[in-house]
Amino acid sequence: MSSGIHPWVRLFDDRVGWGLQAIALPDDPDPAQSMVAAGLLAEKLGFDGFFIGDHPAYAPEVWLHLAALAVQTTRIRLGSVVLCAGYRPPVLTARLGADLDNISGGRFILGLGHGWNAVEFALLGLPFPTAPERQEALAEAVEIIRGVWGPEPFTYHGIHHSTERERIVPPPCQEQGPPLILAGAGERRALRLTARYADACNFGPGHATGLARTPADVRGKNAVLDERCREVGRDPRAVLRSHFTSWLMVAPTPERARAKLDRYYPEGINEEQRFSRVVGSPDQVAGYYQSLVDVGMQYFVVQTLDATDTETIELLAREVIPAVVPRRSALRSRLPLAGDDLLDDAADQRAEEAGA
């Protein structure tokens, strides 16, 4: 079990944290350069973290590009939200994470999930166990990773993973180890794992990120996580509440933002995308994130699936982030997702909270 409150978590006691995750478009002619350029821009603009998705079957390899950024940046934290625990043996993940932490001078964030993409597992030649089995394997991976980062040789024999007298040398240079983000919002298993092991949760509105689609949903997940923490004897404040945006598109006006969405999706969007794509002007997008802060979220991992969309990245940093303040009860304006029904739910919920 994670003990105490990680220093990284404490940074967000009185301010909202922001990380950018950038993925190149499938037809990007130079995806590596696009992602590295986005990471350098994120550092320049003051983001807390820069993350790269973990999809080695069809996207540039995450660890190589994080290492490239580690030697070109000095401040920004680096990681993936999240790595699939099933794609690599835990000791290999521990080695890569320790090396990246040392290369970067203690800026690595370890994000892990049990994996959801059955097609990618098949492309990598890996079995795709049931969700409970993948979650059980994730817990074993966390035990091993933290164990082999310890001061003594570590032995572990689980159902899915094992290691014999292993110790990673040198270990990570962060005194309490890299902070651990665990993805998932399932109330029976995922949030129990988060409460037991993680320094931060991570969920969002998409099918792969927890289906927490409205502020009321997010409030409910946070309440369950609070209870799961108390069940294992942890202070709920020890788990940073982080939210994942699958694709953010910002433009100076609502009309231009809608045009951007139409350009990426000329044939329209499906039901999933109506909830998981956040689209709007800076004021509208700030209203969306404020509504989530108001129900307990403290940190946002905002993803763009077009690493060259510098307009979105710059407007997020310069106009959205300064407008989102730590938790408060005041109403904010509604905002546009790709699905207006979500906006209506959020507005109705907040009106009820204000006694309207």
For residue 338, pLDDT over 80 is answered with no
> Where do the domains of the chain lie?
7-353
For residue 224, pLDDT over 80 is answered with yes
For residue 175, the model assigns a pLDDT of 93
Confidence of residue 337 (pLDDT cuts 50, 70, 90): low
Confidence of residue 350 (pLDDT cuts 50, 70, 90): very low
Q: What percent of the chain has pLDDT over 70?
A: 91
pTM score? 0.90
Distance CA 180, CA 249 (A): 28
In a 13 Å sphere around the CA of 123, the CA atoms on its Cβ side amount to 9
Confidence of residue 354 (pLDDT cuts 50, 70, 90): very low
* Three-state DSSP state, 49: strand
For residue 216, pLDDT over 60 is answered with yes
> In CATH, which of 3.20.20.30, 3.40.50.1820, 1.20.1440.230, 3.40.50.170 is domain 7-353?
3.20.20.30
- Which residues in 186-266 belong to E strands, given as ranges? 200-203, 240-245, 247-250
Task: Tell me what the pLDDT averaged over the chain comes to.
Answer: 91
CB of 176 within 8 A of CB of 128? no
For residue 3, pLDDT over 70 is answered with no
- Amino acid, single-letter form, for residue 273: Q
Distance CA 13, CA 6 (A): 12
In a 13 Å sphere around the CA of 310, the CA atoms on its Cβ side amount to 12
For residue 336, the model assigns a pLDDT of 47
For residue 352, the model assigns a pLDDT of 34
For residue 229, the model assigns a pLDDT of 97
For residue 4, the model assigns a pLDDT of 86
Confidence of residue 213 (pLDDT cuts 50, 70, 90): confident
CB of 332 within 8 A of CB of 286? yes
For residue 200, the model assigns a pLDDT of 98
- Amino acid, single-letter form, for residue 336: P
pLDDT (mean) for 82-98:
98
For the stretch 151-201, pLDDT in tens is: 999 999 999 999 999 999 999 999 999 999 999 988 889 999 999 999 999
